């Protein structure tokens, strides 16, 4: 790999690792019983998409500590994408989301495997999807442990794996516990940080750095860069979730309203709304029979209250803060340049 980071080339390396690893696992599953074919397919499908940002942050955490390019590290970094795939399957299941990447989500796609079992088909498909997500998380640990990196390197990163799993679960639980409650900016940002921000940027960076033997000062600097950038990434995702076009985002725009999720966008809207506007918003949030007209109304209200502008300001300030911390880090130039590029790629997204 050249010193000039090429996102497409890097994505290709990660895709190659994941495709081969999951194809072998799918073969093992089907070898147990042919009936597991739909489950094996969803296992592979779950990790088929994405820009591979989490793997990239892991890779550049390694390079920031002065280590050279390594195929073994790329294999370990690919495990970050299986963590993400597991989180996505579980998140879609919890939110009952019908679409992801313009395709049926795992729990929807798996209904074809249990047709003819009505009225239990939907429940059975959801159970299968839950198990697919669980297995993807287990496979992430397996891929990481069998990357081929020295055992001493892997041991340095093991505590961060435990922290990643704990905080990811904590964030998901906090979102569930705060869903349907009165919108609160502090709660929303805490969910953002623990549900997505840390496992998307900070923790992959730190895992790469720990594998490479990064100093405590470097790890602190990577955290200072990673946490605000991870928050900006999720804030952008929340904004796109409601204001993005489904044909571009690959998701249903009504999901956040129907689920009454505790997003910063909703909290900003609620804080700025007058009593009558809050009453109108309350009548829409959480409804199962939402239409495009409801979406239009909520978008209009949010725009009138300048809530999207507030979230854009939050994204911009966090991205600037993240990149600003790179100036204080003593890291190789290619790593500094790549992490600067990644900050833009993570936050300046159109879909």
Task: Please report the pLDDT score of residue 253 as a whole number.
Answer: 65
Long-range CB pairs of 192-195 (<8 Å, 24+ gap) are 192/231, 192/234, 192/235, 192/238, 192/264, 193/227, 193/230, 193/231, 194/167, 194/168, 194/170, 195/168, 195/171, 195/234
Top-confidence residue, 70 or 288: 70
Rounded distance between C-alpha atoms, residue 36 and residue 53, angstroms: 30
State the DSSP string of 232-293.
HHHHHHHHHHHHS-HHHH-S-TTHHHHHT---HHHHHHHHH--HHHHHHHHHHTT-TT--HH
DSSP SS3 for 103? strand
Task: Please report the pLDDT score of residue 92 as a whole number.
Answer: 92
Using one digit for the tens of pLDDT, what is the confidence trace for 318-337? 999 999 999 999 999 999 99
Neighbours of 328 (CB within 10 A): 11
Task: Please report the pLDDT score of residue 250 as a whole number.
Answer: 60
pLDDT band at 96, cuts 50/70/90? confident
pLDDT, mean of residues 51-63: 97
Q: Strand pairing partners for 104? A: 99
Neighbours of 117 (CB within 10 A): 13
Task: Please report the pLDDT score of residue 288 as a whole number.
Answer: 76
Rounded distance between C-alpha atoms, residue 210 and residue 219, angstroms: 8
Task: Please report the pLDDT score of residue 351 as a whole number.
Answer: 46
pLDDT band at 248, cuts 50/70/90? low
Kindly tell me if the per-residue pLDDT of 58 is higher than 90.
Answer: yes
Pull the structure tokens for residue 54: 């989490």
Kindly tell me if the per-residue pLDDT of 280 is higher than 90.
Answer: no
Residue ranges per structural domain of the chain: 7-347
* CATH 1.10.600.10 given to domain 7-347: yes
Task: Please report the pLDDT score of residue 275 as a whole number.
Answer: 93
Kindly tell me if the per-residue pLDDT of 31 is higher than 60.
Answer: yes
Enclosing H/E stretch for 99 = strand 99-100
Kindly tell me if the per-residue pLDDT of 61 is higher than 50.
Answer: yes
Is residue 69 a contact partner of residue 1, using CB atoms and an 8 Å limit?
yes
pLDDT band at 5, cuts 50/70/90? confident
Top-confidence residue, 294 or 27: 27
Rounded distance between C-alpha atoms, residue 268 and residue 159, angstroms: 36
Task: Please report the pLDDT score of residue 16 as a whole number.
Answer: 98
Name the percent of the chain lying above pLDDT 90. 75
Q: Count each helix (H run) and each strand (E run) in the chain, helices first.
A: 17, 2
As a residue count, the chain comes to 351
> 265-290: buried (b, 16+ CB within 10 Å) or exposed (e) per residue?
bbbbbbebbeeeebeebeebbeeeeb
Kindly tell me if the per-residue pLDDT of 340 is higher than 50.
Answer: yes
Neighbours of 236 (CB within 10 A): 22
Using one digit for the tens of pLDDT, what is the confidence trace for 181-214? 888 889 999 999 999 999 999 999 999 999 999 9
Measured between its terminal Cα atoms, the distance across the chain in Å is 27
Task: Please report the pLDDT score of residue 277 as a whole number.
Answer: 92
Phi, psi for 49 (deg, rounded to 5): -125, 170
pTM of the model: 0.93
Task: Please report the pLDDT score of residue 290 as a whole number.
Answer: 78
Is residue 125 a contact partner of residue 42, using CB atoms and an 8 Å limit?
no
Residue located via tokens 């949010």: 302
pLDDT, mean of residues 36-49: 96
Top-confidence residue, 94 or 3: 94
Range of weakest confidence among 56-70, 142-156, 288-302, 307-321:
288-302
Task: Please report the pLDDT score of residue 23 as a whole number.
Answer: 98
DSSP SS3 for 104? strand
């Amino acid at each position: 790999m050249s010193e000039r980071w090429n996102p497409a080339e890097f994505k290709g390396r990660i895709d190659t690792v994941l495709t081969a690893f999951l194809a072998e696992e799918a073969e093992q599953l089907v070898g147990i019983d042919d009936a597991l074919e739909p489950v094996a397919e969803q296992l592979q499908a779950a990790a088929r998409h994405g820009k591979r940002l989490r793997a990239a942050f892991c890779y550049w955490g390694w390079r920031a500590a002065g280590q050279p390019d390594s195929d073994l590290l790329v294999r370990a970094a690919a495990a970050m994408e299986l963590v993400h795939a597991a989180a996505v399957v579980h998140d879609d299941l919890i939110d009952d989301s019908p679409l992801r990447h313009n395709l049926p989500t795992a729990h929807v796609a798996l209904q074809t495997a249990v047709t003819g079992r009505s009225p239990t088909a939907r429940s059975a498909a959801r159970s299968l999807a839950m198990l697919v997500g669980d297995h993807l998380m287990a496979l992430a640990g397996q891929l990481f442990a069998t990357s081929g990196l020295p055992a001493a390197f892997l041991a340095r990163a093991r505590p961060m794996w435990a922290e990643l799993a704990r905080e990811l679960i904590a964030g998901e639980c906090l979102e569930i516990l705060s869903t349907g409650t009165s919108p609160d900016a502090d709660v929303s940002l805490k969910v953002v940080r623990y549900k997505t921000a840390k496992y998307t940027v900070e923790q992959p960076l730190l895992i790469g750095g720990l594998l490479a033997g990064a100093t405590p000062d470097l790890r602190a600097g990577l955290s200072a860069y990673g946490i605000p950038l991870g928050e900006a990434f999720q804030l952008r995702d929340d904004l796109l979730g409601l204001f993005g076009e489904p044909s571009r985002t690959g998701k249903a725009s009504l999901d956040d309203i129907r689920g009454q999720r505790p997003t910063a966008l909703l909290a900003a809207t609620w804080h700025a709304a007058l009593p009558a506007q809050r009453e109108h918003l309350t009548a829409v949030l959480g409804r199962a029979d939402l239409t495009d007209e409801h979406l239009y109304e909520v978008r209009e209200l949010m725009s009138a209250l300048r809530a999207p502008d507030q979230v854009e300001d939050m994204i911009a300030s966090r991205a600037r803060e993240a990149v600003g911390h790179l100036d204080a880090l003593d890291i190789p130039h290619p790593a500094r340049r790549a992490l600067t590029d990644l900050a833009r790629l993570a936050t300046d997204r159109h879909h």
